Amino acid sequence: MKNIYVANLPYSSDDAELRGLFEEYGTVDKATVIKDRDTGRSRGFGFVEMSSDSEADAAIEGLNGHEMGGRPLTVNEARPRGERPSGGGGGGYRGGGGGGGGYRGGGGGGSYGGGGGGGYRGGGGGY
């Protein structure tokens, strides 16, 4: 079984539409469009599980760059969470720690941002 990551989905897409797209390449065990938990709207990406690795590889090859709803899809093998490159965990010079800070200011705290509201262009202390 192979898990496939699909990005740049139209925000109107749903599980059935995603499944239909991949069924052209083989048996789809599961197709899920990830939705925002507050609004219920698609977040623009999803995952597809296919039982055969060769069918999954064919789907990745055939659908990467394929247009859906006027948007070119990004399709590749999903990697477990631990293997993905880190996107940072807050903090750093862009702020993030104490509720904002960062390059364009606003919020309080944040690393380089200094005291209440810092950041490069914000009020308060900062850099």
pLDDT in tens, 54-69: 999 999 999 999 999 9
Please say if the pLDDT value at position 10 is more than 70: yes
Q: Is residue 127 part of a domain?
A: no
Report d(CA 125, CA 58) in Å as an integer.
55
Contact 76, 55 (CB under 8 A): no
The reply to whether 28 falls in a domain is: yes
For residue 122, tell me if it sits in a domain: no
If one counts the domains in the chain, the total is 1
Q: Average model confidence (pLDDT) for the chain?
A: 81
CATH number, position 30: 3.30.70.330
Domain with 73 in it: 2-80
Lowest mean pLDDT among 11-25, 31-45, 80-94: 80-94
Residue range 85-104: mean pLDDT, rounded: 54
Is pLDDT of 44 > 90? yes
Separation of alpha carbons 102 and 113, rounded Å: 6
Q: Are 12 and 71 in contact (CB under 8 A)?
A: no
Residue 38 domain-assigned (yes or no): yes
Find where tokens 């990004």 sit. Answer: 74
Structure tokens that stand for 104 in this block: 């364009």
What is the rounded average pLDDT of the residues 112-124?
52
Domain assignment present for 67:
yes
The reply to whether the predicted model has a pTM over 0.85 is: no
Looking at the domain assignment, is residue 107 inside a domain?
Answer: no
Q: Is residue 101 in a domain?
A: no
